[in-house]
Structures are given as C-alpha cells and as structure tokens.
Structure 1
Amino acid sequence: MTSRIKEYFATSYRPGERKLVQKIDFFILTFCCVSYFVNYLDRSNLTNAYVSGMKEDLGFRGNQLNQINTCFTVGYVIGQVPSNIALHHIKPRYYFPAMMILWGGLTMVTASAQHPRSIMAIRFFQGICEASTFVGTHYILGAWYTEKELGKRSGLFTSSGLAGTLIGGFIQSGIYKSMNGRHGLAGWRWLFIIDGLLTIPVALYGFFLFPDTPHTTTAFYLSAEERQLAKDRVPITAGPNENVTLKQQLTKSLLVKVLTSWYWWGFVVLWIIAGELESFSTNGLLALYMKSHPTDKYSVVQLNNYPSGVPAVGIMSTLFWATLTDFLGGKRYLVGYWIGITGIATSIMILVAAKNPTSAMSTRVVFAGYYWAGSVYACQATFFAWCNDVMRYEDALFRGIVLAGMNLGSNAVNAWWSIIFYGATYAPWFTRGMWAMIAVSIVLLFWCTALVWFTVRAEKRRDALTTSDSVPAQDEASQTTEINEKSG
C-alpha cells in the first residue's frame, strides 16, 4: 500500500510536461473553478433570497418557487447540447465569457422583479446561458488532462460550485444585516445585484487568459513545444477536427451513432438517476424544513447559515472520492454504491423523524440526515470523469454530445420531478420525496453494476483490436528483415 501511495503522488512526467501541467492547472482551473463558483452562487441564492424576504415581498403562493426552478431547468436543458457543440467550433475563451456576461446581467435584472412570474422568465433565459459552464468545463478537462489527472481536477471544479452554495448563505445573511433597506432596496435585491457584478472580472480573465483546447490554443504563455506536448498527451480524438465544418459533422449518421451507442444510454441514464439523488440538496429542503418547522422558529441569519453545512459536506466528499478513485486507477463506480446507500439511509432517517415531529431528537436526526445527504454531491465529479475516461478514444464531438446529454437528461427529468416530489407545499417532511429517493437509490445500485460490465467489455474489445492491428505490422517487419537477410 505504501508503494502505491508513493507511486500515486510521485507522478513521472516527460521533459517539460510537469511545467506544462502546472501552467494549464493555473489558467484552466482558476477560470473554470471561479466561474462555476459564481455560477452556483447565482443559482443557489434564489432559495436564500426566498427565505430572506422575497417570498413575502413578491407574494409567493403554493409551489411558485419550484415553478421558477423548473423554468430555469427548462432553459438549462435546452442549452446543453447546443452549448457543447458551440464549444467545439467557437473558441472557449470567447464563448465562456460571453455566456457569463449574459447570465450575470440577468442575475442583476432579477433584483428589479415585482412578481414571481417575472423571475420565471428571467430564470429561463439564465438557464440557457448557464448551461455552458458545467458540461462545457468537463469537455475541456477531458481534452487537456490524462486519465490519471482527471479525477482530482474534476473534483476541484465541482467543489468550487459547492463552495458557491456554501458561501451564498453567509453572503446573504451578511447583506441582509448590513444592506437591508439601503437606498430603499431589500437585502435580497442587493444579493442579486452583487452576484451579477462578480461575473464581470471573471469573464474578462477568461477572455484574455483561457487557453482554449490543445488543438486550438494560441495562449502566449505556452511555447510551441508545450502546445505540441499538450496534443501528444491525450488521444488525437480528444480534440476537434478543424478541417471539418459543423455542417459536415452534424449528420444523420452521427445522430444514429449517438442514439444507438451504449455510451449515450449508459451515462445519460446514470446521470438522470444520480441527479435525482441530489434532490435533497438542490431543492434546498433543509432550508424549507427550517422555514416550516412545526415548533421552532429560525431567524433569517439562521435560515441562511445552517443549510451551508450541506455543501460543506459535499465539498469534503467530492475531494475525497475524486482523489480516491484516481488512486484506485479510475474506479469511479464506487461512488455510485456510496451515494445509493446514502440515499436509502438518509431517507429512512427523515421518515422516522417525522413520526415524532415536535421532539428535539427529531430535529437533530433531520439535520444529520440532510448534512449526510450532502455527500451525494461527490457523484458530479466522478461520474463525468468516468464518462471522459471511457470515451477517451472516441471522437471529440461524440464525447461532447454525450457529456451534454447527461446533464440534459438529468435536468429534463428534474424539471417535473422536483414539483411532484419536493414541492414547497410538502414541507417540512416531503414524505413522498423520501420514498422516491429510496426507490431511485436502489435503481442506481443495479445500474452502476450494469455500466461497469459494459465498460469492461468495451476495454477488452479495444485491447483486442489494438493487438490485432499490431500483429500484421510485426509480421510485415519480420518479412522485410528476412528478405534483406537473403538478399545480403
């Protein structure tokens, strides 16, 4: 075990490769992580604003909060595949910042809303713009990093989004205490203004310093040798074919290839299932539980700060599992078993707590259950890294479409799933949602097992094909040697 740990941390690099990795780590990860942090800050602060006065100021009724989230999700779904296709033909250093400026502007516009319907329209277009970040970054990471490097980077990227959720609550509570009522604006309105302004410097950083992909980069801080080394580090299929037009690539045969591929169905369904296992966290159930608690009354500061423990657990879990699965040689499927067990256990905890809702022990069990459920966030980094690993030798556009399809499928289901099972009117216990979580967790355990079998089979086929292709070349070389010896 000690030797494996030393081997894991003492990575051997070719001449100049370590310096290259350090450079792309700095310029790629800083931009991607900060942009995802701001992305999630904008997204998660809707719930923070809701419990900080927006509900009362705008006269929310029934499940209008869930309907707003659904509008965002619909836009997010629409933008997934087109966004990754656009990244394949528009330089990321132009595309990412442009989308950031658009969603930052829409976030600031939210501060002027006078009715929940206005926020529904704003969030729909915001979802289209924000669709660029998550799957787009995973496409970029898969283009630059090797299989051994990918898990940790994916984990850092995903954790940055969770950090946005974590810090968002503290930001809202700070704004509420210091700026509520300033210039006649409520604290929740200032939250959206400040969040939107944060996107501008990040977008400018990306425009000037993001290195695009190994096959298209013109970054001034990479030498010609480093650019060639970046291409050599990953399979040629990981980069776009600059000589083929978008119209030539988006053909019926590509559509057939995608829809008949086990990659598409295996990983899209995987993320549909796993995405719903994040429902406790993504729907802000702990905050809604506190807001509707049967006996306790929480202050605005508590409503914003206490749920921050959920993404804090998510960050620790994400970094732990991303590092562990790298160390174990890319066994990303292990996370599937962990989150499946977690979904079952935490749901049971909350169902049991609901039987005695007024006791202090019931409240402690619910908090513990929701905090533990935050560890499910680990699947974001590991499952997208799993897809990138398995599709490393596939065409780049094909890989990009599957990555986008994963998020498309998950959010398409989540658009109605959250209303049916986790509507705000079901607070504080969400009993229907707890039973749905148990069922989905069981399905995930079986699906991960099946996907492992398909992955192993595909690797064996590729190895066999590689071996068969090399044999004729060896025979030809031996025949040439024999002829030369006879002629000599």
Structure 2
Amino acid sequence: MGFSETVGAYFRPSQSSKEERKLVQKIDFFILTFCCLSYFCNYLDRSNLTNAYVSGMKEDLSFHGNQLTQINTIFTCGYIVGQIPSNLALHYVAPRFFFPSMMLVWAALTMATAGVHSPTHIMAIRFFQGIAESTTFVGTHYVLGSWYTENELGKRAGLFTASGLAGTMFGGFIQTGIQSSLHLKAGLTGWRWLFIIDGLITVPVAIYGFLLFPNTPATTTAPYLSERERALARSRVPTEVGASHNQTGANEASPLSLRFLKRALTCFPLYAFVMLWIIAGETESFSTNTLLALYMKSSPTRSYTVPQLNDYPTGVPAVGIVSTLFFATLTDMLGGCRWIVGYWIGLTGIVTSAMVLAAKSKGGDQEPLVFAAYYWAGSVYACQATFFAWANDAMRGEEAMLRGLVVACMNMGSNIINAWWAIVFYSADFAPWFTRGMWAMIGTSIALAFWTTVLIWWTRSMQKKDPLAFVGSDDVVVEGQRADRETSSDVADGEEVTPTKA
C-alpha cells in the first residue's frame, strides 16, 4: 500500500460497523469534551502562576531569590503525593464523581490564591492544589485506555494533551485582557482577578462531569448508552473487565491484595515506562519551567511590557499543540510506532540547548536566536500523548488496575525527579541564561534516545515470544484490529458477547 493510500485508509472510519462508529462518536463527545476541558482548566491554573508573577505579583508580594521555583516545587510535591492514590481510587470511586469533585477542590484553592499576602501563603495553597490536580492527567490516560482501541488511542491522547497546552497558551492572553480591563477594579490588582476568574471557569466543567461523564466500559451507567452499546464497548477493549472491584465483584483485581502487589513489583513494563517518563519529563523543562517568560523578565538587552511578557511566550504551547497532534496522528497511522517521538525529542533538546548557549557566548542582541530555540523546544510536548499511549498499548494484556498503576507511577516518577531538578537546573534566579540547565538538557536528551532504543529492543523481543501480547507494531496491530473488528461485528449482528479477561 502506497503512502497516500495509507493516509487515506487511516482517516477513514476504522470501525467495522455503523453501530460501532456511532458508539465511538458518542464516547468521543462525552469523554473528550469533559477530559479536554478539565485539562484545559488544570493547565490554565498552573501556568497563570507565572503569568501573575510577571504581571505584578512579584513586586506586590516581595518575592526574592528562587521563591517562585520553590512554590512550583511544593506544588510538585503535592502532585506526587496524589498520583498513585488518585488512580487507585478510581477502582472504588466512580470517575464520574471523583474527577469533578477534585476539580471543585482545586477551583476553590485557585480562587483562594487571590487573597494571599505573601509567597508562603501561596506555597501552602499550591501543595494541596497539587494533590487535587494529580487526578487529571494519569486518571484520564487510564480512562482513555479503557475505552479506545490501539489504533484510536493516539489521536485521543493527543487531543487531551493539546487541550492542556491550550490552557497554557490562553492563560497569557487572559492575563493580558484582565490587566487592561479589571486591574484595580474592586480594589484588586489584575493578577488577583486572574485567579478568581480561573476558578470560576472550572466550576461549570465540573458540573458537566457530574452529570454526563460515562465512567469506564465495565461500570458505565450513562443514560445515552444503551445496554447493547455498553456490551459493545466492553468487547472492544476486553482487558477492562475486572476494573472495578466494588461494582463487578472482581476481587482478584483489588489493588489492596498481596497478589496485586506481587504482580506489580515483578512487572517489567512498570520499571521500563517509569524510566522512560522520568527522562522524557525532564526534556520538557524549558516549557514547564516557563524559561522564555523568565528570560524576557531578566533580559540583558531590553525591557518588555506586561502584555509582551504574557503574550510572547504563548508561542511555545502553540508549537506544542501542533507537534502533539502531528505526532499522535502520525504514530497511530504508522501502527503505534511511538518511539519516533523519542528520537525527535532527543534531537530537539540537544540543538535548542546549543542555540541558547551560542546566544550567550555571542553576547549582544541575540533575542531572535533565543526565541527560536524556546519556540522549537515547545515541540517536546509531543511526548506526553505518545508515550502514555505507548504504555497503554503495552499493558493491554494486563488487568486494568495494573495498567492504571503503570501510568500513575510514570507521572509520579517524573515529578519526584522534577521536584528537585527544577531547583538545581532551572531556578528562577538563574535567569536569563540557565547555563547549567542547558547542559542538563543535552545530557537528558542523549539519555532519552538511548532508553527509547532499549524499549524498542524490549518490545520486539516480546513480540517474538508472544505476537499477541503487545500491540505496538504494524503487524501486531493488524492482528489486534482484526480480533476487535470480529468481536464488534458479533455484537452488531445481535449475538451475545461475554468479554473475557486477557
């Protein structure tokens, strides 16, 4: 099949029956709208701390040294604490109630930030906000892996990741608008209004989740899905059976059992993908630590206005959105070759770091080179969607909660490192050049390329031992898709299908 035919086949509906296409359209609407809006609000809250910092909060609260970095580290600590408990909680509490409840908690904490009078107040709030927000990222990847097949997952994970980046991008524009329209209204400065509005935006999304989020195929009671559609959903991704201890009686899947603990501790993919995301997570450091905004705030050659400080850095997440959607689509189209992104990011990290180091060594006005480096570095966000889809693909043969534990541990491991990594290499008082961080990025990028190669070797070894155990290559996906399509056709023809545990 030629390239044009491959592209055409990919963008045609992959579902084998009209009923299955209708099901996917329904879950796309109700799952992706809530998850994407949730993640948008999540990143809007996170990114606007820096937007507030460069828009007057630094001066109003008398920040000094690396207190901004300390606040981000404390948030990360709360985020770490919540990772595994929040994902395992989905085994006992329906996502329809758990996700929106946590959203209301972080909305309240965001609005409370508008009343702070010192950096230490923000530190306390951000710790608990980190715990509440820890539910969103890994919990959503668990839910997406429960509903979508391997040739559908990458695109959906890409849209989810892009929604968070959109929150980062629009945060700057929102701060600019607030600064010009609400600054000093009711006696509140613009950055305080920013936190109030962020929190208010989150509330209706949470209410929407309470009403219409469908949980997982094994536990859904969504009124817009018929019994026939629920059976079809379970048959499409049969490893979801046993995901809910309380509602299905699948006691053997309980994460509080010794059997589950032993299985988790001897699961090689757990360690392999945790290491992958520990390394990959740090390749996002230029963007997650908002280095471009901090560079502009401390620019050695010119002074930027508040609108410029908020607007110019939005180009970084814009690049991230484009690259995320591109690579998520490309790796789906190529049959799950998620490893492509590992090599792209390795190249990006090395070259962009070298560009910033070169700008420093040349002296003078090197803004164009620095801006180009940070904008290009935004493309590393592509690894979020593709690497978590890679982990979901690798764990399809395992019970659902083990898959949930793997994606939770991936994010937790990355944040444990990031909690101190940002202070050591990207502290705010290292601006504008972050020389130490540039060299750290080069080393991390080389490590990512190496570990990606290790995972490719492992997946190919697994495919030789058991071709149906892993769905990460072209020929294996074909077999997996054929099995899914046959099962789905049985349901569509009216036959009773009893999902079986892999």
Other-structure match for 2:93: 90
Give the equivalent residue in structure 2 for 1:333: 339
Taking the aligned partners of 2:301 and 2:274, their CA distance within structure 1 comes to 42
2:249 pairs, out of 243, 246, 253, with 243
Which residue of the partner structure matches residue 485 of structure 2? none
1:185 and 1:127 map into 2 onto residues whose CA distance is: 25
Structure 1 residue 235: deviation in Å?
2.2
User: Any idea what the Cα deviations from partners look like across 1:158-212, whole Å, max 9, x if unmatched?
Assistant: 0000000000000001101111111110100000000001111000000000010
Does structure 1 residue 343 correspond to structure 2 residue 345?
Answer: no
Mapping for residues 54-133 of structure 1, pairs under 5 Å:
54-133=57-136
CA–CA distance in 2 between the matches of 1:247 and 1:113?
A: 44
Aligned position for 2:461: 457
* Partner-residue secondary structure (3-state), 1:111: helix
Deviation at 1:25, TM superposition (A): 0.3
State the AA in 1 paired with 2:259. S
User: Which residue does 1:438 correspond to in 2?
Assistant: 442
Q: Report the Cα offset of residue 274 of structure 1.
A: 0.5
Q: Which moved more, 1:268-277 or 1:253-262?
A: 253-262
1:382-401 alignment, distance < 5 Å: 382-401=386-405
Give CA-to-partner distance per residue, 1:120-150, whole Å, 9 cap, x none. Answer: 0000000000000000000000000000000
User: Structure 2: how far apart are the matches of 1:465 and 1:220?
Assistant: 34
User: Normalization by structure 2: what TM-score?
Assistant: 0.91
- Measure how far apart 1:8 and its partner are: 1.1
Letter of the structure 2 residue corresponding to residue 190 of structure 1 = W
Equivalent residue, structure 2, for 1:215 = 218
- Cα contact 1:214–1:239 (8 A) shared by 2: no
Q: Comparing 60-69 with 256-265, which one deviates more in the overlay?
A: 256-265
Question: 2:287 & 2:378 partners in 1: Cα distance?
Answer: 6
Q: Which residue of 1 aligns with 2:427?
A: 423
Higher mean alpha-carbon deviation, 209-218 vs 230-239, is at 230-239
Measured on the aligned residues, the alpha-carbon RMSD in Å equals 1.4
The number of aligned residues is: 464
Instruction: Indicate which of 339, 344, 364 corresponds to 1:358.
Output: 364
- Match of residue 142, structure 2, among 132, 139, 148: 139
**CA–CA separation in structure 2 for the residues paired with 1:427 and 1:465:** 48
Counting only pairs closer than 5 Å after superposition, residues 301-316 of structure 1 correspond to structure 2 as 301-316=307-322
State whether residues 278 and 377 of structure 1, in contact with CA within 8 Å, keep that contact through their aligned partners in structure 2.
yes
Distance, in Å, in 2 between the alignment partners of 1:243 and 1:461 is 33
Name structure 1 gaps, 5 residues minimum.
467-488
**CA distance 1:15–1:414, change in 2 (3 Å):** same
Matched residue SS, 2:103: helix
Q: Secondary structure at the match of 2:154?
A: helix
SS in 1 for 2:466: helix
Q: Give the match for residue 267 of structure 2.
A: 261
Given residue 98 of structure 1, which amino acid in structure 2 is its aligned partner?
S
Q: Give the CA deviation at 1:237.
A: 4.2
Distance 1:58 1:236, change over 3 A: same
CA offsets, 1:397-418, max 9 Å, x none? 1100000000000001000000
Matches within 5 A, 1:286-301: 286-301=292-307
- Aligned partner letter, 2:234: K
* Contact 1:38/1:161, CA 8 A, preserved across alignment: yes
Counting only pairs closer than 5 Å after superposition, residues 192-203 of structure 1 correspond to structure 2 as: 192-203=195-206
- Structure 2: gaps of 5 or more residues: 471-502
Q: Percent identity?
A: 64
Displacement, 1:255? 2.4
In the TM superposition, residue 431 of structure 1 has moved relative to its aligned partner by 0.2
Distance 1:178 1:277, change over 3 A: same
Partner of 2:287: 281
